[in-house]
Each structure stands twice: as structure tokens, then as C-alpha cells.
Chains A and B, each alone.
Chain A
């Protein structure tokens, strides 16, 4: 009789141990699900970001590409000459007078789109859409939507 009672207690203990184990396993599964979702999950959000970035980049890139080919008639060495915006950017690096014309033209073209136009000598790739203008020095033009 004594043996049977002890066996019953042992069985109850084992059952309790297994139940605690079961709860821990269930908790671990939930924790792993939450962690994996936050690390690799939420694909909907990522796809939305990808679509927005793709759309913004398309607009900036194609608009800048078109504008760089636009012709402008300006006075160079006393003569009126027709040059492209890309040429004007090169000239603006030599003579600050052309920088003013360049800024005016950029503002006239891109202000309605809420774009920010800038030229730089940096080689690093930043945000927005960039083009390199062939020249002796590094000239990079960058178009980016204003934040």
C-alpha cells in the first residue's frame, strides 16, 4: 500500500514536470515567432518602402537626365553660344558668374517638383540621383526630393 502511494506521487511529479516543460516550449515558440517576424518579417512594409524608393529614384533620375541635355544660349567671351546644361555645370566650376545662371536655371526647372539640385566634387554616393559630368576634375550633380 505504501509503495502504491509513493508511485502515485512520483507520477504526479513527473506530470507536473512535463506540464512546466510544455509551457516553456510554447513560450519559446511564441518568442521565436516574434523575434523572427521582427528580424525577417513584415515584408509588406519592406515592399512598400522598395516601391516608394523605386518610384522616387525613377523620377529624379529621368528628370535630371533630361535636364542635363537641355540647351541654353549664353554669352561666352562676348559671343552668344548654345550649350547644354552639362556644359554650363562645367563652366560654373571655372567661373562663378555661370554658377548664378546655373542656379537660376535649376531653380526654374526643379522648384515646381520640390527637388533640390546641387553640384559637388565628392565621389561618395549619397541619397538621390547622381550623374558624373566628364571633366578634368570630379563633377557630380545630384537631384533629390526636398525633405
Chain B
């Protein structure tokens, strides 16, 4: 009789211990899950990157707002870029310079029309007032950045 009672007590003790162990696992697991969720989020920095690229183009073509040189070579010497990952359309009045993958521009238009695509590129449109021979002109920029595997 005595032995039987001891066995039951041991069983009960083991059950309680297992329950407490489960709580411990849940608490530690929960903390790890929350921390992982916060720190493993992928940040899409392509919009900021597009803005920085735009600034670089303007500073290169028109430093201080005064137009210096508007040609393909100036832009290419300005900063390195991967033509597969970027699309740049730079327009000054009637002059137009185009670089990179023009399919990205199509994807940007698709985004505007709310066509469902798995990954959109980051699209940016900007307008600058610049001076050319003391005359005010508008510099239009359209930039699209893919970089899905890198900056998204």
C-alpha cells in the first residue's frame, strides 16, 4: 500500500514538473520569437536610395544649381551603377538621357495602375529648377531601382 502511494506521488510530481518546464519553454520561446521578429525584418531602403541617386545626379549635372554639362559621359563618370538594377530617365527641356533597364519603368507604370506584381521596383519622380546660361530650366528625373535581393 505504501509503495503504491509513493509511486502515485512520484507520477504527480513528474506531471507538475513537466507543466512548469512547458511554461519555461513558452516564456523563453516567446521572448526569442519577439526579438527575432523585430531584428530579422527586411527593410526596404530603395526609396531612400533612389532619393540619394537623384541628388547625386543633380549635384553632378548642375553643381550648386548651375548647369555644367548635360551628357551621358558626365552621368557615367559621376557614380558607378549596375544597369540591370537601375533605370534613370533624365530630361532637361528637350534633351533626354536614359540609362539602365527600361523594364523597370514599365513595372513602375504597372504599380501606378495597381497591376499585381510580386515585387515592384522603387520609383521616384523629381523636378528641379536649374540655371543654364542664367536662364531657369526644369530638370526632370525619373528613377527606378530593382535591387530586390540586395536592398529589400
Q: Which residues of A contact B (CB under 8 A)?
A: 4, 7, 11, 14-15, 18, 21-22, 25-26, 29, 32-33, 36, 40-41, 43-44, 47-48, 50-52, 54-55, 58-59, 62-63, 65-67, 69-71, 109-110, 112-113
Min CB distance, A67 to chain B, in Å?
6
Contact check, B64 vs A26: say whether CB atoms are below 8 A apart: no
Min CB–CB distance A2 → chain B (angstroms): 12
Q: Is the Cβ of A67 less than 8 Å from the Cβ of B65?
A: yes
Per the CB 8 Å criterion, the residue count for chain B at the interface is: 43
CB distance from B69 to the nearest CB of A (A): 16
User: Chain B residues near A71 (CB, 8 Å)?
Assistant: 134
Give B121-147 as 1s and 0s: 1 = Cβ < 8 Å from A's Cβ atoms: 000101111110010101000000000
In Å, the complex CA distance between A6 and B55 comes to 78
B47 neighbours in A (Cβ, 8 Å): 47-48, 51-52
Which chain B residues border A58 with CB–CB below 8 Å?
51, 54-55, 58, 126
Q: A26-B30, A47-B44, A55-B54 are in contact. Are A69 and B65 (CB under 8 A)?
A: yes
